Amino acid sequence: MMPVHINDIYYDPERQFCGLYIASKISMPDFDPTLELLRILNENKICFLSISSHRSEDIVHNFITLNLTDVPELKEEMVKNIKEKFGSRLVYLECVDSGVPGLIYNVNGYPVILNVSGRPMQVAAMTTSGWKSLVMGMIRRYRGDATLMLWNMGNDFGEAHGKTLLEMAGLSDRHRIRIGLAVLQALGWGKFELAECDEFGKVVVIRATENFEELITWELLDYENRFLLGFFVGLVSKVFDKACRGTEVKCVKLGDPYCEFVIR
């Protein structure tokens, strides 16, 4: 199954959460900041919900989400231990509070950052219920025209995605398509497989399972994945630099094991 929440976002009004943002110098193999933080958590018997880490040159940035329900005093003890054990390696330390009781997320940045070829971009995430409201609203208001609108939206989006992938030098077009599909899966769009793709892009076959468009339109048995189809056509057209057409030839709603898109 796909992830049920985006990392670093938690809300439970009955609990008391704390976020710790720690930036520190790394000196491998002598000192790994992330491992040291885990040791401190274990020593203090503190329950953590998530930890995210990334490295920029010799600085490691860690964001830890802690559950301090009934033990708020442990926060100060945790901060004290970090300062003592990290010493001069510590660059920055902050206790993060969202301002809403029971809600914690990485308020020092957006919860999800997509970094493709050195271009960090914030991800404006929307849940499947949000997508369902959008798509169903379009179908209710525009009826048959809604499917064309969704195809065009997907097509524009796919072309923009392909343009970003073309900026990644030294890759084959087939590999660019694979990367593009992997990014979509990382963003929760579904699970994708590049089943067929020759070096000239004459025929590209993409298979999808658990895709979000299928999930939000499940009760509409005659609905085809128009947004995704438009996206794949735009993506392949841009990457291979040629006009393409696409068809959805298999669909999970019809009993097939996956939705299959053929782009020529």
Per-residue pLDDT band for 54 (boundaries 50, 70, 90) equals confident
* 50 and 134, same domain (yes or no): no
Q: Assign 51 to helix, strand or coil.
A: strand
Q: Residue 248 burial by CB count (10 A; 0-12/13-18/19+): exposed, middle or buried?
A: middle
Domain boundary among 71, 87, 111: 111
State mean pLDDT over 106-123: 69
**Would strands 204-209 and 191-197 be described as parallel, antiparallel, or unpaired?**
antiparallel
In this structure, what are the phi and psi dihedrals at residue 135, rounded to the nearest 5 degrees? -65, -45
pLDDT at 20 over 70: yes
- C-alpha 93/C-alpha 121 separation (Å) is 24
* 179 and 64, same domain (yes or no): no
- C-alpha 86/C-alpha 60 separation (Å) is 12
pLDDT at 25 over 70: yes
- C-alpha 248/C-alpha 246 separation (Å) is 7
* 76 and 206, same domain (yes or no): no
Note the pLDDT tens digit of each residue in 147-179: 999 999 999 999 999 999 999 889 899 999 999
- 4 in a domain, yes or no? no
Which H helix or E strand runs over 11? strand 10-11
- 40 in a domain, yes or no? yes
CATH number at residue 94: 3.30.70.260
Q: Are 249 and 261 in contact (CB under 8 A)?
A: yes
- 118 in a domain, yes or no? no
State mean pLDDT over 97-109: 72
* 162 and 75, same domain (yes or no): no
What single letter denotes the amino acid at residue 169? A
* 95 and 165, same domain (yes or no): no
So what's the pLDDT on residue 1?
A: 37
The larger pLDDT score, comparing residue 214 to residue 3, is at 214
Domain boundary among 83, 111, 139: 111
* 129 and 225, same domain (yes or no): yes
Domain boundary among 84, 111, 138: 111
Residue in 94, 99, 103, 104 with CA at minimum distance from that of residue 65: 104
Q: Are 78 and 85 in contact (CB under 8 A)?
A: no
* 207 and 241, same domain (yes or no): yes
- C-alpha 264/C-alpha 155 separation (Å) is 15
Cis amide leading into 29 (omega within 30): yes
* 163 and 214, same domain (yes or no): yes
Average pLDDT over all residues of the chain: 88
- 5 in a domain, yes or no? no
* 152 and 243, same domain (yes or no): yes
Q: Residue 29 burial by CB count (10 A; 0-12/13-18/19+): exposed, middle or buried?
A: exposed
CATH number at residue 225: 3.30.1380.20
pLDDT at 65 over 60: yes
Q: Residue 185 burial by CB count (10 A; 0-12/13-18/19+): exposed, middle or buried?
A: middle
Q: Which two tokens stand for residue 176?
A: 């660019």
* 236 and 174, same domain (yes or no): yes
* 162 and 191, same domain (yes or no): yes
Rg (CA), the chain: 23
> Residue 76: which domain range?
10-111
State mean pLDDT over 29-51: 89
pLDDT at 110 over 60: no
* 99 and 131, same domain (yes or no): no
- C-alpha 96/C-alpha 9 separation (Å) is 13
Number of domains into which the chain is organized: 2
